[in-house]
């Protein structure tokens, strides 16, 4: 049976918090049957997926004996969850929390106080499997940090910033700030120079993981700025945009925040592998997966693919947008507050329409129907970022609610099942789709049609 045919706790009661390890078992059963519980013994299988990464950190496993499970599947329990309140049922289908016989050996226990050694555990960022997102050890994914002391979605809190080098054997303390798309560090005691540009190299950002995500309070994570460079906006004027490489020290190596493997995307996610960079990113920026942009003024919900303009001054939230990610592209095509100038300003609905288009969130629910590395043309109504050549076929016109129409999905040739999956998903969401009213031969006239209203803000097409 395909993994999409299974659901976890779909019919059962809410999970109790603070359950002692191994005290209760939650059997994963075929969809539509009653979820049962039985005592089981913890074996420490690590299996998380998507937004459940902070909800089902450590689970126990045992072979099912009730005949209701597919041969080779294990039943999973929630391990001790201190301080994490969870009042809703969890239903996980598609990329479900399942343990197969080959993947649940008896020596996979999670070390106390942190994620399992080796990283690349098989969990996915909120943005989806295969996306280049900042991660510590392949388990704590995040795309933003709060500079004012609040936790981010991965439960990480900035608690200190240490300058490069030492003075009398000690490192100076700094306050990290963001000016548009540039990081700067100001000395806490007002003594010493501001750090910016390449002077930031060697600066250490100290993050404290949330105790709720682990069985015991974990040690702080030290993230170092190891390189500072620049790229350029894709929309003229092509002024420089700072790039950063962030690294953290693992037990036996130094690893970068960006460019780490995550499960291969698909209807059933495959084994972890490095993310693919989109062709337009490779052409304009290069092949370095470890690069990141840092900018403030916009906040993203990676799961729902939505944008919120953040006008707080000074800004507290900073995006850490890894190479090739949707957030990084949004900034380089000047659909962010930090990328705006007098000639390039956009509204929240326009930015969200662009995000939906880049991520291929056709039904407007946050579900993406593309993968990193897929070649597609996309442009806005201005058009600041026009198609490079005439397209082979039109995909969609886009608003902040998703696709307004669909002619040929961008992966329809590579994946014959994608059209039926889109149809089912959009029908379930009540999102109607008609064939697009323009042809490839008419694409040059689309910006004028869009300006008149009713034709969306974005246009995507297949090269």
Q: Is the Cβ–Cβ distance between 268 and 2 less than 8 Å?
A: yes
DSSP states of 309-357: E---SS--EEEEEETT-HHHHHHHTT-SSTT-BTTB---HHHHHHHHHH
Q: Are residues 88 and 158 in the same domain?
A: no
pLDDT of residue 18: 29
Q: Are residues 380 and 357 in the same domain?
A: yes
From 78, 110, 142, give the residue that closes a domain. 110
3-state SS record for 173-185: EEEEEEECCEEEE
Q: Is the Cβ–Cβ distance between 248 and 260 less than 8 Å?
A: no
pLDDT of residue 189: 82
Of the candidates 412, 417, 372, the one whose C-alpha atom is nearest the C-alpha of residue 129 is 372
* CA–CA dist 368, 360 (Å, integer): 5
Sign of the Cα torsion 315, 316, 319, 320 reads positive
pLDDT of residue 313: 87
pLDDT of residue 429: 97
Q: Are residues 71 and 144 in the same domain?
A: no
Of the candidates 58, 95, 49, 51, the one whose C-alpha atom is nearest the C-alpha of residue 76 is 58
From 345, 372, 398, give the residue that closes a domain. 345
What is the chain's mean pLDDT, rounded? 75
* CA–CA dist 330, 335 (Å, integer): 5
Q: Are residues 162 and 70 in the same domain?
A: no
Instruction: Quote the DSSP letter at residue 32.
Output: T
H-helix or E-strand spanning residue 205 = strand 204-209
Q: Are residues 326 and 354 in the same domain?
A: no
Q: Which two tokens stand for residue 269?
A: 């996610």
Q: Are residues 258 and 390 in the same domain?
A: no
* Tens place of pLDDT per residue across the chain (463 aa): 333 322 232 233 332 222 222 322 322 222 233 333 333 222 222 233 333 322 322 333 233 333 332 222 222 333 322 222 222 222 222 322 222 222 223 222 222 223 333 334 446 778 877 788 888 765 678 999 999 999 998 889 999 999 998 878 889 999 999 999 999 999 998 677 899 999 999 999 999 998 776 666 788 999 999 999 999 999 999 999 999 999 998 667 788 999 987 777 666 666 777 888 999 999 999 999 999 999 999 999 999 999 999 998 899 999 999 999 999 999 999 999 999 999 999 999 999 999 999 999 999 999 999 988 899 999 999 999 999 999 999 999 999 999 999 999 999 999 999 999 999 999 999 999 999 999 999 999 999 999 998 899 999 999 9
From 51, 84, 110, give the residue that closes a domain. 110
Alpha-helix residue ranges (DSSP H) falling in 165-286 = 279-284
Q: Are residues 217 and 326 in the same domain?
A: yes
Whole domain around residue 404: which residue ranges? Answer: 347-463
Instruction: Quote the DSSP letter at residue 187.
Output: E
pLDDT of residue 129: 78
Q: Are residues 358 and 334 in the same domain?
A: no
pTM of the model: 0.73
Q: Are residues 127 and 93 in the same domain?
A: no
Q: Are residues 138 and 19 in the same domain?
A: no
Q: Are residues 172 and 250 in the same domain?
A: yes
- Tell me how far the alpha carbon of residue 419 is from its chain's centroid: 24
User: 453 Cβ partners below 8 Å, 6+ apart?
Assistant: none
| Tally of domains in the chain | 3
Q: Are residues 139 and 62 in the same domain?
A: no
* CA–CA dist 359, 126 (Å, integer): 12
pLDDT of residue 57: 29
């Amino acid at each position: 049976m395909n993994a999409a045919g299974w659901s976890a706790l779909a019919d059962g009661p809410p999970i109790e918090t603070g359950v002692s390890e191994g005290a209760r078992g939650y059997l994963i059963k075929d969809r539509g049957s009653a979820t049962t519980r039985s005592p089981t013994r913890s074996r420490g299988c690590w299996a998380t997926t998507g937004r459940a990464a902070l909800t089902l950190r450590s689970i126990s496993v045992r072979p099912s004996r009730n005949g209701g499970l597919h041969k080779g599947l294990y039943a999973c329990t929630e391990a001790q969850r201190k301080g994490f309140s969870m009042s809703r049922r969890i239903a996980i289908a598609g990329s479900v929390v399942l343990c197969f016989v080959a993947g649940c050996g008896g020596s996979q226990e999670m070390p106390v106080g942190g994620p399992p050694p080796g990283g690349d555990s098989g969990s996915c960022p909120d943005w989806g499997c295969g996306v280049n997102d900042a991660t510590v050890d392949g388990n704590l994914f995040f795309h933003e940090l709060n500079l004012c002391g609040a936790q981010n979605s991965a439960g990480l809190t900035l608690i200190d910033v240490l300058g490069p080098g030492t003075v009398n054997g000690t490192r100076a303390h700094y306050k990290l700030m963001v000016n548009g798309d540039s990081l700067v560090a100001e000395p806490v005691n007002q003594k010493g120079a501001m750090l910016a540009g390449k002077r930031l190299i060697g600066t250490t950002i100290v993050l404290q993981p949330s105790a709720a995500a682990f069985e015991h309070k974990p040690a702080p994570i030290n993230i170092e700025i190891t390189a500072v460079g620049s790229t350029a906006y894709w929309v003229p004027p092509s002024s420089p945009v700072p790039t950063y490489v962030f690294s953290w020290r693992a037990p036996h190596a130094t690893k970068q925040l960006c460019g780490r493997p995550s499960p291969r995307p698909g209807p059933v996610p495959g084994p972890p592998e490095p993310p693919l960079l989109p062709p337009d990113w490779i052409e304009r920026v290069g092949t370095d997966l470890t690069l990141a942009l840092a900018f403030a003024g916009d906040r993203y919900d990676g799961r729902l693919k939505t944008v919120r303009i953040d006008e707080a001054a000074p800004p507290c939230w900073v995006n850490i947008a890894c190479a090739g990610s949707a957030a990084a592209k949004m900034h380089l095509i000047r659909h962010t507050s930090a990328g705006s100038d007098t000639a390039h300003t956009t509204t929240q609905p326009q930015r969200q329409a662009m995000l939906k288009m880049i991520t291929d969130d056709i039904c407007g629910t946050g579900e993406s129907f593309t993968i990193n590395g897929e070649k597609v043309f996309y442009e806005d109504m201005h058009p600041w970022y026009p198609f490079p050549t005439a397209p082979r076929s039109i995909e969609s016109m886009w608003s902040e609610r998703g696709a307004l129409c669909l002619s040929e999905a961008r992966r329809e040739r590579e994946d014959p099942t994608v059209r039926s999956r889109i149809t089912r998903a959009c029908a379930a969401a009540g999102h109607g789709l008609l064939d697009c009213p323009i042809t490839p031969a008419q694409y040059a006239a689309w910006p004028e049609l869009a300006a008149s209203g009713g034709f969306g803000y974005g246009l995507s097409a297949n090269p």
